[in-house]
Structure 1
Amino acid sequence: MKHRTSPAAVALAATAAVLLTACGGGSDNSKNDAKTAVSKPKSETSASPRAKTSSSTDRPAITFPSDAKNVFDDRKTDDKTKAAILADSALSINAVDEAIFKGSTGTKALGFYNTGKALNSSITYVQGYIDDADTWIGETRYFDRRVTLSGADKAYVTYCSDESKSFIKNKKTHKVDRTPTTANSYVLYHTVLNRSAEGTWQTTDIVSNRGDKACQP
């Protein structure tokens, strides 16, 4: 299991309280964890889903190395708005991981799909990997992704991650930290997304609860 304090753990306590109330409960205890990763489910789609909300927007490409993968459950919905939100939520996650792989907090996608508090905490998260010369390998699964709309331009997305098959790898020593799977391999996330003027659903805030019962297998 790949463990590093996640971007969600950097969120302010007051913000966490607001998000958790809006999304239906939970608490952020990721602050006690050392390192965190990425995940995959049974009927799912892997890699980088592309949102189709704004054809006028020049969306940055996101690339992963061959030994790492994020997999997102294929939650089908006939609601085009919710489908676009889920797609951009996945791209927000992928953008953070791409920054880790590239060893840079200045990647185009990171600031394209994340803004506000979510971007600030993601930069802190990525910088932790850079400072320790770490990356990650394996597969992270994201599942039980749910959308709640709040007006025309705001949405709440909750989801779980399964980090049991992703591991931290040091770039200098090439050592892989293959820690065992525990309840803490599973994390519940609460996120806020706002639609930009160009139509992109950007993640603006995020909190998490590692080991949450709602995400256990």
Structure 2
Amino acid sequence: MKRRSLPVAVAFAATAALLLTACGGEEGSSKADDEIAGADTGKAASSPAPSATATDSAKRPDVELPKDVTNNFDGWKTGDATKDAVLTDTSRRIDALAYAITQGDPEEPVLGFYYKDDALLGAADWVQEFVKAKKSMTGETRYFKPKVDVYEEGKATLTYCSFEGEAFVKDRKTGEAEKTPVTDNSYLLYATRLERNDKGVWQTAALNSERGNDSCTP
């Protein structure tokens, strides 16, 4: 997995960092090598994460985000049971990362439920950077225009965009948000690879992201 192009300590010092939450911003924020489908960024009504459609044996953990943290997922419903299962577990993975950041716990067990391999290591590192900086997060992030490709049984790729212009770094002690202006860098393009485990959970194994990609900016 590629690493962030801008060290978070520098971003915090400049007070110009935009969060990488489900996931993001998640733990990867450099350019993706793979070809990524374009995304239409026309505004759509926000909606909660889709409900699970796949039949499996996993008892997924309940994740409740603080009242000041919201992830909205627009258009994350295809009507195809397998693709919707990929989207559902991805939305839960994004919530899991946001939860771990707000709890200040890089070893939060929910991360290991939805991440694996390099993506899991990256997620833990990203949370740890928030902890070291004594920061948390606040605000709303919108995830939109997902494209799922189940290219083999139990294996899939997913690309999607996010808008972080209303999500901010927050000082953990004072609760003060470090608000930043909306720019092209408020938009991110993600490319992920997922694998379904033996319990039926679609885990993110690899993740890349790029800020200001033309396919996500208005």
TM-score, normalised by the number of residues in structure 2: 0.82
Per the alignment, residue 108 of structure 1 pairs with: 109
CA distance in 2, matches of 1:76, 1:192: 18
Q: Deviations over 1:143-196 (max 9, x none)?
A: 011101111111000000100011111011322111111110000000000010
Distance in 1 between residues matched to 2:52 and 2:173, nearest whole Å: 36
State whether residues 44 and 71 of structure 1, in contact with CA within 8 Å, keep that contact through their aligned partners in structure 2.
Answer: yes
Q: Which stretch of the first structure deviates more once superposed, 80-89 or 67-76?
A: 67-76
Give CA deviations for 1:12-57 in whole Å, capped at 9, x if unaligned. x9xx53xx14x459xxxxxxxxxxxxxxx623322x5443424421
The structural deviation recorded for 1:76 is 3.0
Indicate if the aligned counterparts of 2:187 and 2:217 stay in contact, CA closer than 8 A: yes
Please give the alpha-carbon distance, in whole angstroms, between the structure 1 residues aligned to 2:103 and 2:53.
26
SS, match of residue 180 in structure 2 = coil
Larger helix proportion, structure 1 or 2?
1
Matching residue of 1:185? 186
The SS at the match of 1:187 is strand
* Counterpart-to-counterpart distance in 1, 2:77 and 2:189: 20
- Is structure 2 residue 60 aligned with structure 1 residue 59? yes
1:55-97 CA-to-partner distances (Å, cap 9, x unmatched) read: 4212111110001100001333221000100111111111111
Identify which range, 52-61 or 193-202, moves more after superposition: 52-61
* Per-residue Cα deviation, 1:104-155 (whole angstroms, up to 9, x for no partner): 0122211100111110111111111111111111100000111011111110
Give SS of 2:47's match. strand
Q: Which sits farther off after the overlay, 149-158 or 50-59?
A: 50-59
| 3-state SS of paired residue (1:90) | helix
| Distance of 1:92 and 1:164 partners within structure 2 | 21
Provide structure 2 residue ranges, at least 5 long, that are not aligned to the other structure: 1-15, 21-25
Which ranges of structure 1 fall in alignment gaps of 5 or more residues?
Answer: 26-40
Q: How many residue pairs align between the two structures?
A: 194
8 Å contact 2:75–2:146 — kept in the other structure?
no
CA distance in 1 between counterparts of 2:166 and 2:19 reads 15
Tell me, in whole angstroms, the C-alpha distance in 1 between the residues paired with 2:162 and 2:150.
22
